Chains A and B, each alone.
Chain A
């Protein structure tokens, strides 16, 4: 009790009511008030005194201040100023998004245009690519055709070159005394058969003229064999087939240094070491 009384008489409660204490001091006073009922009671008496004192010195506020305060508080009972104040910002708040929407609309329009342009560009690109692909395909076909043509031409040119060379050789033979042109005539075995053999005496070359060969076509088991008769003895000059394609005119055979007669016999495929005389189809003597 004594502690409570001393506390009261220190004057701290008055300072508390007058809001003169810091937070720590306030908390201390509040704790003391809880602990000592007489402190609580004293504090209430001070508060009531200050309240009465304030009421005694009342100053009446101007008319309309209450409505102004209630309007400021917001939830006021529908006083005019409150409505006007709230309506204006609301109207402004509506205006701002309209401006923004217009800006967004413009942006969307621009983006839409860009999208259309992109799609158009894509379509053009696809068409261009497709046509380029087609053209490439036809170009490939053309290249293949041209390559084939070129190959044909090349082979034709080669053939003609060869033919030309051979023909030139044959033409030269007439003026060259070293070339002996031997005409082989058909025997009793086939009187219609005949062929030409060219022989270069010093060069020993023996050639057959494929373009002037008229012999019956042989079967698979047989071949023709060319012979030279040298002083009555037959010398093998190689086997050959009758070819339908006359791409090569001159056919080289084995060489021979001297010969009086050339003859062809029909022999088994691969040839024979000596001629089968009853199978001789053509023969011709070398003219001196």
Chain B
């Protein structure tokens, strides 16, 4: 039953079909974004099995909460990404997950993903790999903490012993660097 042809729809089509509870929207979203979302989840929860459960939860929540998505407030992917991140951070902080003994030290996560990234890279984007890794390490560290490790920017500021404004600036600089590469 593996789909032979990837489904791809415009953002407007995706949103209207999703709100109309057309399963084609979920198929398309899965084909277009399941890898990206699993990437975000795996940065926070490296265990493949748990991460895939979370991906499943993410899609179910996307399906059930479709009505609450407001396109005027942001892109569909941003909304989905934040669902995936919030579910993952909730999982990371949940008692049963911390007690499972499966979780690894949070500091190892980035290295764990880094060891996997050779095989998980999207082939279309392979060319920009070097640019991403070329981000200034101190900017990258703050973005990683907030984006991948479940820290709030306030917690990151405390952890890195930096003023809140500096943390904000570093996040902005890191993202600006990314934009230089993508635009």
**How many CB-defined contacts (below 8 Å) exist between A and B?**
151
Contact in complex: A18, B113 (CB < 8 Å): no
How far apart are the CA atoms of A219 and B168 in the complex, in Å? 153
Contact in complex: B40, A54 (CB < 8 Å): yes
How far apart are the CA atoms of A70 and B23 in the complex, in Å? 8
Knowing A51-B77, A73-B23, the reply to whether A58 touches B30 (Cβ < 8 A) is no
Knowing A19-B85, A44-B75, A60-B120, the reply to whether A70 touches B40 (Cβ < 8 A) is no
Is there a chain B Cβ closer than 8 Å to A47's Cβ?
Answer: yes
Residues of B within 8 A of A (CB-CB), count: 59
B39 cross-chain contacts in A, Cβ below 8 A: 54-55, 57-59
Contact in complex: A66, B75 (CB < 8 Å): no
Contact in complex: A9, B172 (CB < 8 Å): yes
B34 cross-chain contacts in A, Cβ below 8 A: 60-61, 65-66
User: Chain B interface secondary structure, helix, strand, loop or mixed?
Assistant: helix
Contact in complex: A20, B23 (CB < 8 Å): no
Residues of A within 8 A of B (CB-CB), count: 46
Chain B residues 70-86 with CB under 8 Å of chain A are 72-75, 77-78, 81-82, 85-86
Is there a chain A Cβ closer than 8 Å to B5's Cβ?
Answer: no
Chain B residues 42-63 with CB under 8 Å of chain A are 42-43, 48, 51-52, 55-56, 59-60, 63
B91 cross-chain contacts in A, Cβ below 8 A: none
Knowing A20-B146, A50-B81, A53-B178, the reply to whether A59 touches B30 (Cβ < 8 A) is no
**Interface-centre pick from B63, B78, B120 (highest chain A CB count, 10 A):** B78
How far apart are the CA atoms of A51 and B51 in the complex, in Å? 19
Contact in complex: A54, B23 (CB < 8 Å): no
A156 to chain B, nearest CB (A): 111
Contact in complex: B81, A56 (CB < 8 Å): no
Contact in complex: B2, A63 (CB < 8 Å): yes
Is there a chain A Cβ closer than 8 Å to B15's Cβ?
Answer: no
How far apart are the CA atoms of A81 and B1 in the complex, in Å? 13
Is there a chain B Cβ closer than 8 Å to A11's Cβ?
Answer: yes
B171 cross-chain contacts in A, Cβ below 8 A: 11, 14-15, 18
- A-B pairs with the 8 shortest C-beta distances? A58-B35, A11-B168, A11-B172, A19-B82, A57-B39, A54-B36, A59-B38, A49-B179
